[in-house]
Amino acid sequence: IAWSNAAIAGENGEVTHVVASGIDVTEQRELDRLKDEFAAVVSHELRTPLTSIRGALGLLAGMHTDTIADDRARRLIQVASRNADRLTELTNSILTIERLRAGRGSLDLETISAGELLVNAAETVAGSAEAAGVSLVVQPAPFSLVADGPKLAQVLVNLIGNAVKFSPAGSSVEIRAIRQGGHALFSVQDHGRGIPLDKLDTVFERFRQVHSHDAREKGGSGLGLAIARGIVEQHAGRIWVESELGVGSTFLFTIPAEEKAV
Ligand code: ADP
């Protein structure tokens, strides 16, 4: 049970009552679990109709111009396709979160090159970085580690994608990995808007965004960092962020790694 206290003052400001309230955390956790499970079931059920909608939109887009002569119709199809893709991404993210939360989905461990991992992740985000006028700088990382390659790549892609989203044109994002005392330490540093001190922990929670308009203006759902944290913790690592408003943010995570040269 989590307790919190509140003091109630009388007319002269003296404390007259103290109210203590206790929340049954077990009950809260069970509620959270049910919410996650519900979201996962709904997401799963949305998959089949979404596949059909995307298929139909793809066919429409490929039809002859004399069938869909109107430019406006084409633009509407594009808007619908973009949003169907976004919805698909969202349902996939919810299912990933649920799998991580339930401890399902094992790690596929292999020896991977840290340097290649950084380069591949940066390449995945290169298109949106270019569109945003942000340059990606990948530092050499000549060592290997044992980890689930595709999952670590997902963590890096989420972090680099955010760094690009919240950085001004003309700035750079530095992507590094070093070996440090039995760990590989990865970092993604940007020179963007930064994160307020009181949000440094909460940004890793599901559906949390620093500004409520972030989702609308920047895209995203507030799940990327929750997924990143889930994957890093699955590897018995740690993830955190250091940031200064208006100066930039550095997201860091560790993955246990034995000393071993490439
Ligand atoms: P989203 O899909 O909204 O990007 P995330 O979980 O990846 O979800 O991020 C949660 C929120 O954390 C973002 O909406 C944004 O408000 C904040 N955030 C994440 N990365 C950065 C960054 N590099 N700079 C500033 N704010 C960030």
* C-beta of 190 in contact with ligand 1 (< 6 A): yes
Instruction: Show pLDDT as tens, one digit a residue, over the chain (262 residues).
Output: 666 666 767 667 677 777 766 666 788 778 877 887 888 888 888 989 999 999 999 998 887 666 556 788 888 999 999 999 989 988 988 888 888 887 777 889 999 999 999 999 999 999 999 999 999 999 999 999 999 999 999 999 999 999 999 999 999 999 999 999 899 999 999 999 999 999 998 999 888 788 877 776 777 778 899 999 999 999 999 999 999 999 999 999 999 987 655 4
Query: Which residue's alpha carbon is nearest to atom 14 within ligand 1?
Result: 209
Q: Kindly state if the Cβ of 195 falls inside 6 Å of ligand 1.
A: yes
Q: Which atom of ligand 1 is nearest to the CA of 223?
A: 6
Q: Can you tell me the ipTM of this complex?
A: 0.97
Task: List beta partners, residue 187.
Answer: 176, 252
